[in-house]
Amino acid sequence: MAPPPRGLVITVPFLVLSLLGAAIFLFFLFFSLSSCSCPAPPSATRSSAVPSSGEVPNDSSGSAGGSLEKFRASFEDVDWVKEQIRANGLHMADNVLRKGINPRTRAQQLEDLRNFKGISHYEEADSSNHTALPCPGELLVEEHHSNYGEPWAGGRDVFEFLADATHLKPDSRVLEIGCGTLRVGLHFIRYLKPSHFHCLEKDELSLMAAFMYELPSQGLLHKRPLIVRGEDMDFTKFGSKEAYDLIYASAVFLHMPDKLVWAGLERLASKLKPYSGRILVSHNVKFCSRLGGEECTRRLATLGLEYMGKHTHDSLLFNHYEIWFEFRHSKA
Ligand SMILES: C[S@@+](CC[C@H](N)C(=O)[O-])C[C@H]1O[C@@H](n2cnc3c(N)ncnc32)[C@H](O)[C@@H]1O
């Protein structure tokens, strides 16, 4: 009879079970690590792969820091959408009449709306309209998307630039001068906490488009933005204690008399959070440069404002860049 085996005996079933157990353990370990909510290392954040030659020098100007959140599409995002287009074999074909598709201009859509009473299924008179917020036809066909700043999609570019440059957070407080039809403002309103977006705008039709079409159609009424009609750079309706993280003017100061811009800056300087808050102005700062370099700096200094530098920002969708000028309030 053979002697019993000495030492540890590992049977085949035991070995298989052990390997299976180890594999399950490693699987759960890997899964729990990959779904951790800890911040990604810098090389893995969206910012590291920004497809933009107009890169904003994030902290070179001393902008408020801290957040890793980035707003622009990454290289991965762009590659993904290109792959979707390639995989589906898509090309930009002529937009002509075809089965189930009836391309029309805005003017034709508006005519249909008027002729067919807003394509209503209800038979009654307009007085018993079932619509809670009846929107004018011109707005429904989005005529206002061609009013200025087109392409309309450029509003997202402006938002992404400003949000990245100022490290925007949901509880940031933002004021736009001349928000128009909310081409840019919508993106802020969507991201910020309720009532954290403010705007002063003078144009009645633009404000109608903002209140009657953009906010309701984007499901943003609950965000309660404070949008005030006015043209005198009078900010009294925004409250005396408001301290903004960002005040911006997108394609606005170039349309205003220099005197009015300076009056506005004088009232706004104290509403900007000292040091961390930023004023950003697009296109040019002729209101300042027309005074001459030294006088411009001196006048800014009397308001406690400091010029921080110039940035360019490339659009994601069209071959265009925008220029931005950054200021901060350097007095506590
Ligand atoms: C070119 S549009 C830009 C609108 C918006 N900022 C955008 O980027 O889509 C200029 C806007 O500034 C507004 N605006 C011009 N002067 C103004 C003033 N003194 N006070 C308030 N808004 C003004 C105009 O009514 C218009 O809506």
pLDDT digit string (tens) for 17-34?
A: 666 666 655 554 444 433
What pLDDT does residue 37 have?
A: 35
Atom 13, ligand 1: residue with shortest CA distance = 178
Atom of ligand 1 nearest to the CA of 231: 20
The CATH superfamily label for domain 148-329 reads Vaccinia Virus protein VP39 (3.40.50.150)
CA of 256 to the centre of ligand 1 (A): 9
Say if residue 92 is exposed, middle or buried (CB neighbours under 10 Å; 0-12, 13-18, 19+). exposed
Give per-residue burial for 170-192: e unless 16+ CB within 10 Å, then b: eebbbbbbbbbbbbbbbbbbebb
Residues 290-317: pLDDT tens digits? Answer: 999 899 999 999 999 999 999 999 999 9
Residues 79-104: pLDDT tens digits? Answer: 999 999 999 999 999 999 999 999 99
CA of 210 to the centre of ligand 1 (A): 13
What pLDDT does residue 149 have?
A: 76
Atom 8, ligand 1: residue with shortest CA distance = 250
Atom of ligand 1 nearest to the CA of 203: 25
CA of 251 to the centre of ligand 1 (A): 7
Reported confidence tier of residue 322, pLDDT bands at 50, 70, 90: very high
Q: Candidates 252, 281, 324: which one to mutate for ligand 1, based on the most atoms within 8 Å of Cβ?
A: 252
Atom 12, ligand 1: residue with shortest CA distance = 178
Reported confidence tier of residue 332, pLDDT bands at 50, 70, 90: low
CA of 91 to the centre of ligand 1 (A): 37
What pLDDT does residue 4 have?
A: 46
Q: Candidates 158, 161, 255: which one to mutate for ligand 1, based on the most atoms within 8 Å of Cβ?
A: 255
Reported confidence tier of residue 1, pLDDT bands at 50, 70, 90: very low
CA of 169 to the centre of ligand 1 (A): 25
Model pTM? 0.80
Q: Which amino acid is present at 213? A: Y
Residue 15 has pLDDT above 70, yes or no: no
CA of 209 to the centre of ligand 1 (A): 13
Atom 19, ligand 1: residue with shortest CA distance = 231
Q: What sign results for the dihedral spanned by CA atoms 192, 196, 200, 201?
A: positive
Residues 147-205: pLDDT tens digits? Answer: 887 799 999 999 999 999 999 999 999 999 999 999 999 999 999 999 999 999 999 99
Instruction: Please tell me the distance from the alpha carbon of residue 35 to that of residue 14, in angstroms, as a whole number.
Output: 32
Q: State residue 313 phi and psi, 5-degree precision.
A: -140, 120
Residue 39 has pLDDT above 70, yes or no: no
What pLDDT does residue 123 have?
A: 73
What pLDDT does residue 251 have?
A: 96
**Pocket-forming residues, ligand 1, beta carbon under 6 Å:** 148-149, 155, 178-180, 183-184, 200-203, 206, 231, 250-252, 255-256, 260
Answer yes or no: are the C-beta atoms of 250 and 282 closer than 8 Å.
yes
Residues 221-252: pLDDT tens digits? Answer: 999 999 999 999 999 999 988 899 999 999 99
Atom of ligand 1 nearest to the CA of 158: 8
Domain ranges of the chain: 148-329
CA of 59 to the centre of ligand 1 (A): 29
Residue among 169, 253, 249, 176 nearest 210 (CA):
176
Is the bond into 151 cis (omega within 30 degrees of 0)? yes
What pLDDT does residue 324 have?
A: 98
CA of 187 to the centre of ligand 1 (A): 17
CA of 135 to the centre of ligand 1 (A): 22
